[in-house]
Structure 1
């Protein structure tokens, strides 16, 4: 049996086992409850803010045009805070309800942890009790690795699609102006963005699962790496902000920046840094982010294969 057939057989068997297990149902319920909670809270807060602004405008004697203008300015401010000040992106997302954007941003932040919970034992669960040896006798180690990776990626793809569909159906009901065509187009766009974003983190989970024989240790180490990547992104962005401010001040004063300039490059080593352009309407911007996540995924998978190849099973 060649490598491709081996991979497909393992992928199919692992996917069937994952779908039949109770974990898939629990993870779907966990993800859906979290998304629903965020959606309801954000929707309630948005409604309260709109109501308060409308009351103030009515008290001031402002008309409907002024209310619409204030609402648009508030929307632009929220979009700039959540995504970026890119005019092309703001125009492309102008018809998407703010509730959807806020929920997408929050769930994207927690999605790596969800991925880790989903597949932390995909390899360590069989390496520990040494049941992996029965697979590697009949199939290549690379086929086992890719089959398990693809099964987790496929399961995640389906779960995210179900949740995104529920979110957009709610947005369609709550916002009558959000047309059916806009729902379909943006559903595909947001779903594709979430999948591309998850690609690197599924690979990272595979790497962590290959490093240890204990699934619990794999999960803890995975969370440690997620925190390290988040910290690198946060420090890099803060250093870039400080460095940009220093360049402005340096026109009037001479001195060295208090923060070392190379810290700003740390953000490029974190996968989360490249999430900003996943919803960009320009293909070049989206492709750059997609290529970055594909690169991270390749590095993590190659690392997992190197560990699995050297490990005594």
Structure 2
């Protein structure tokens, strides 16, 4: 069986199992509840202030409350992704069940298959929530034209996925490091907080210290141009997230190749 067929088999089998899992419904509900709370808060804020948002030029025709939700969601997504996939590798390494896969498929195929499972679930969950959000925006804001709604929905969905897939790779890496799922989850949270700290240190050190450059190591630093109307700016941000994805998937592969499965 060649590599692509192995990946497809792992992806299809694991996706079917994940879709049938109660966790998927719980995660959908969690994402939906979070978005609803943010929507209510953002609606109140948007009705009181219509200030511009940095990096949101592409959303000039989008309701402000929806723009706020997108920005706030980027803070929530890394934790959400960690909860979704913290045991994707460690759960099977700890129980040794991964051996049944690795004797039939390459380690790289198993790894990419599991990465695609989490990515597929994320694509579906984010799309469901985004569709609901933009349907609300369409009825709550009569001036929000249908064509503009569809274009904005596509743009926000794509930007969210470019951002989130890097964190799926980070979660895959964390899950490959440990045999215990709980430890993988804790380490994942520590890594997320470390990235946030790097960005805050870089922001505080601007024009003060060489530590300003540490923010370039934080994935969230590159989120500002994901909705930029300038293709080159979006392209650079997308390239940065692609690099993060490749680095952490490469790290996960190196760990799995080196350890006794």
TM-score, normalisation: structure 2: 0.98
Within 5 A, what are the aligned runs for 1:180-191?
180-191=146-157
Q: Could you tell me how far apart the structure 2 residues matched to 1:311 and 1:127 are?
A: 10
For 1:273, which of 176, 197, 221 is the aligned residue? 221
Shift of 1:40: 1.4
Q: C-alpha offsets along residues 31-81 of structure 1, whole Å, 9 cap, x if unaligned?
A: 00110111012213433x2xxxxxxxxxxxxxxxxxxxxxxxx53x332xx
Corresponding residue for residue 289 of structure 1: 237
Q: Could you tell me how far apart the structure 2 residues matched to 1:7 and 1:221 are?
A: 27
Corresponding residue for residue 78 of structure 1: 52
Q: Could you tell me how far apart the structure 2 residues matched to 1:124 and 1:197 are?
A: 24
Consecutive unaligned residues of structure 2, counting only runs of 5 or more, are: none
CA RMSD, Structure 1 to Structure 2 (Å) = 1.0
Corresponding residue for residue 95 of structure 1: 61
Structure number, greater radius of gyration:
1
Shift of 1:229: 0.3
Q: Could you tell me how far apart the structure 2 residues matched to 1:21 and 1:308 are?
A: 26
Partner SS, residue 145 of structure 1: helix
Q: Could you tell me how far apart the structure 1 residues matched to 2:164 and 2:41 are?
A: 25
Q: Could you tell me how far apart the structure 2 residues matched to 1:192 and 1:174 are?
A: 23
Runs of 4+ in 1 over 4 A off after TM superposition: none
Shift of 1:132: 0.7
* 1:39 is the counterpart of 2:13: no
Partner SS, residue 138 of structure 1: coil
Corresponding residue for residue 230 of structure 1: 196
Shift of 1:237: 1.4
* 1:193 is the counterpart of 2:151: no
Shift of 1:282: 1.1
Within 5 A, what are the aligned runs for 1:105-120?
105-120=71-86
CA contact (8 A) 2:45 2:65 kept: no
Within 5 A, what are the aligned runs for 1:144-293?
144-240=110-206, 243=207, 259=208, 261-293=209-241
Q: How many residues align?
A: 261
Shift of 1:109: 0.6
Consecutive unaligned residues of structure 1, counting only runs of 5 or more, are: 50-73, 244-258
Partner SS, residue 8 of structure 2: helix
Shift of 1:93: 1.5
